[in-house]
Every structure is written in structure tokens, then in C-alpha cells.
């Protein structure tokens, strides 16, 4: 009986301790999120304050019959999949190379981080000038090497604009994969490889039977993180093409941004943002579930 008050105290203490953090999270994450959701059911055009008000599902109905929503959605898929696949492959090769012993390995490991630590704005401006159709470095090189005769306006035609930006983003993000995978590689005990070698395993067998399974947790988490980040990123697109030419580089975040800050239509823009969130949540939960399943199996 005498220990009961003590029990109560310890029950409250954890809540008291997490309250400040929780309050901040609510204030800076949940409130804006809630507002976005409310806006998505409202007509809210910044310069028409008189018309502001709830309109139910109208914005969602508009979105589903909006061809631009569907083309932005498919661009978003192309964007996510191509970037993640190539960043992962490039990152894996880099990690395997950096895991070997060679002179200058320390320097190489730091240098590889440069694209990742360069601010997006600088990355975007740099690539924009390299792609430039009149004076750009890439055109100069291709033309000097005799591969092209006339300069290619990479960012001015919709057939090449998206691909060009994707290449820039792959360059920017692959070091993250490289460094995370390298950390994973170094955690694999050397003994496993030694034992396998004694058993007569080939290099390929070592890679697929030891390296890949041991790296799996790292691979799965990094891919998950990158998918979310890449899906949301729009700074590089905005600076390199602003979503153009035409609507060819409009992904959902870009479309949502353009609607909000160029069209001042915060209602419809919020709807697009909510739809992207739902989509990401479906992908992420599906992904996590399949991971859990495969681990059970």
C-alpha cells in the first residue's frame, strides 16, 4: 500500500518530460498539416478573400479530371523510380570500390561527399549552365568530340528536359547511398568471407550470399528515406526549368508549388499536396509491410 503514491509519480513523469517535445511537434508539424487538409477542402485563392470557404470535395473532383494532375503524377513516378534506381546502383558500386584498400582511400571517401554537401541551388545553377544550349560545357565537349554537330538545347525541349534534370539529381544524391552502404559493408565481419573462401565459394557467391543479405537492412532503410526525399524535392526542378518547357517537368510537388505561388490558389494546391502525401503513405506502408513479411519468412 505504501508504494502506491510513488508508482503514480513515475507514471506522470515521462509524460511531463515529453510534453515540451510533443508541444513543439504539434505546433510545427500537426497544426500546419491540419491546416493543409482544411485548405484542401476549401476554395482559397489569395487575391479573392471574399470567396474563401469550405467547398467539400470539389478540389478533389477537379484534380481527378485535371489532365495536368495525371501528367504530373506520371512524371512523379518516372522521377522517383529512375532517380532511386540509378542512385542506388551508382552508390553501391562506389561503396564497393571505396571498401577496397588503395592509396588515397581516405581522401576519396571525403571527396565523394561533395555532390551531397553542395546546396541544391548551386547544384541546379551549375547543371543549368553545363546544359546550356548556346554556351554549355556539355555541348562543347560533345561537339569537340565529334558526337554532335549542332548544340542540343537540353532544357528547352521536353524530350530531354526531364532526363537532364534526373541526371543532375542522380549526381547530387548518389553519395548518400555510397556512404550508407559503405558503413554497412564495414560492419560485415571479415570472418564470413574467410570461411566462405575456405569452403571454395566464388566471388559472385560471396557477393550474393554474404554481402547482399548482410547489407539488406541498410539498403531497405536508405531506399525508403530517399524515396520520400526525392518525391518531395522540387528545388532543383524549379531552378533548372521552372516545370517547363510546357508542363514537361511538372511533378506533383512542382505543380502544387506553381499553383500556390504563381496562381495564388492555395486551396487547389493543398489538395495536390494532400494527394501526394496519401500516395507516399500507400507506397511507404506497402514497402514496410513487404519488408516485415520477407523478414518473417
Partner 1 sequence: MRKVIAVTLILLTAGAFICAQGAQEKADETQVVKFWYHFDNPETALNPLIEKFEAENPGIEIEAERISWDSYNQKLLTAVAGGYPPDVAQVKLWWQPQLVEMGALLPLDDYIAEWDGKDDVYDKIWELTRHSDGRQYYMPLQMVILYLYYRADMFDELGLEVPETREEFLDVAKKLTRDTDGDGIIDVYGFGIRGARGGHDWWGTFVLSSGAQFFDENGNSGLTTPEAIAANQWFIDLYRKHKVSPPTTPSDGFQEIIANMKSGRTAMTIHHRGSAADIEAVLGDKLSAAPVPMGTMGSWTSFGDEENAVFAATKVPDAAFKWAAFLAEAENNALWQKSSGQVSINKSNASEDADRFLKATTDSAPFAGVLPAHPGVSEFVESLWPALMQQAFEGQITSREMMQAIEDHFTE
Binding of partner 1 by 26 (CB under 8 A): no
All three cell numbers of 60: 478533389
**Which range touches partner 1 (CB under 8 A), out of 113-121, 181-189, 199-207, 245-253?**
245-253
- The count of chain residues that interact with partner 1, using the rule CB under 8 A, is 32
CA dihedral 278, 284, 290, 294 (to 10 degrees): -170
Find, among 173, 152, 160, the residue nearest to 235 by Cα: 173
Binding of partner 1 by 160 (CB under 8 A): no
Binding of partner 1 by 168 (CB under 8 A): no
**Which range touches partner 1 (CB under 8 A), out of 40-48, 53-61, 105-113, 208-216?**
40-48
Considering the complex, what minimum distance in angstroms separates the CB of residue 77 from partner 1? 21
**Which range touches partner 1 (CB under 8 A), out of 35-43, 58-66, 172-180, 236-244?**
236-244
* Residue choice 84, 155, 179, 223 for contact with partner 1 (CB under 8 A): 155
Binding of partner 1 by 146 (CB under 8 A): no
**Which range touches partner 1 (CB under 8 A), out of 41-49, 57-65, 80-88, 105-113?**
41-49
Find, among 278, 282, 279, 275, the residue nearest to 66 by Cα: 275
All three cell numbers of 215: 547489407
Binding of partner 1 by 71 (CB under 8 A): no
Binding of partner 1 by 35 (CB under 8 A): no
Residue 293, CA atoms < 13 Å, CB-side half-sphere: 6
Whether 128 contacts 239, CB under 8 Å:
yes
Q: Grid coordinates 517535445 are at which residue?
A: 21
* Residue choice 13, 46, 111, 282 for contact with partner 1 (CB under 8 A): 46
Q: How far apart are the first and last CA of the chain?
A: 48
Residues 179-208 that bind partner 1 (CB under 8 A): none
Considering the complex, what minimum distance in angstroms separates the CB of residue 99 from partner 1? 30
Residues 6+ apart with CB under 8 A from 123: 115, 168, 171, 172, 236
Whether 163 contacts 251, CB under 8 Å:
no
The footprint of partner 1 (CB under 8 A) covers: 20-21, 24, 46-50, 132-135, 149-151, 153, 155-158, 241-247, 258, 261-264
Amino acid at each position: 500500500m505504501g508504494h502506491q503514491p510513488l508508482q503514480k509519480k513515475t507514471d506522470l513523469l515521462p509524460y511531463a518530460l515529453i510534453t515540451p517535445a510533443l508541444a513543439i511537434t504539434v505546433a510545427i508539424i500537426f497544426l500546419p498539416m491540419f491546416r493543409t487538409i482544411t485548405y484542401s477542402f476549401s476554395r482559397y485563392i489569395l487575391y479573392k478573400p471574399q470567396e474563401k470557404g469550405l467547398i467539400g470535395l470539389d478540389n478533389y473532383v477537379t484534380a481527378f479530371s485535371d489532365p495536368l494532375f495525371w501528367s504530373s503524377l506520371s512524371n512523379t513516378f518516372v522521377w522517383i523510380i529512375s532517380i532511386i534506381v540509378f542512385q542506388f546502383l551508382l552508390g553501391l558500386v562506389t561503396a564497393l570500390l571505396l571498401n577496397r584498400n588503395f592509396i588515397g582511400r581516405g581522401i576519396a571517401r571525403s571527396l565523394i561527399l561533395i555532390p551531397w554537401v553542395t546546396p541544391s541551388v548551386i547544384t541546379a545553377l551549375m547543371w543549368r549552365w553545363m546544359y546550356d544550349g548556346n554556351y554549355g560545357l556539355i555541348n562543347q565537349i560533345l561537339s569537340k568530340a565529334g558526337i554532335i554537330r549542332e548544340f542540343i538545347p537540353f532544357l528547352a525541349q521536353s524530350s530531354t528536359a526531364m532526363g537532364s534534370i534526373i541526371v543532375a539529381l542522380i549526381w547530387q544524391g548518389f553519395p548518400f547511398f555510397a556512404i550508407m552502404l559503405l558503413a554497412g559493408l564495414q560492419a560485415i565481419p571479415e570472418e564470413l568471407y574467410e570461411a566462405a573462401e575456405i569452403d571454395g565459394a566464388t566471388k559472385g557467391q560471396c557477393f550474393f550470399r554474404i554481402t547482399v543479405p548482410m547489407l539488406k537492412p541498410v539498403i531497405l532503410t536508405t531506399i525508403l528515406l530517399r524515396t520520400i526525399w526525392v518525391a518531395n524535392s522540387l528545388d532543383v526542378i524549379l531552378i533548372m526549368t521552372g516545370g517547363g518547357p510546357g508542363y514537361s517537368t511538372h511533378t506533383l510537388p512542382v505543380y502544387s508549388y506553381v499553383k500556390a505561388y504563381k496562381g495564388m490558389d492555395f486551396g487547389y494546391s493543398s489538395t495536390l499536396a494532400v494527394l501526394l502525401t496519401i500516395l507516399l503513405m500507400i507506397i511507404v506502408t506497402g514497402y514496410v509491410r513487404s519488408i516485415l513479411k520477407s523478414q518473417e519468412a
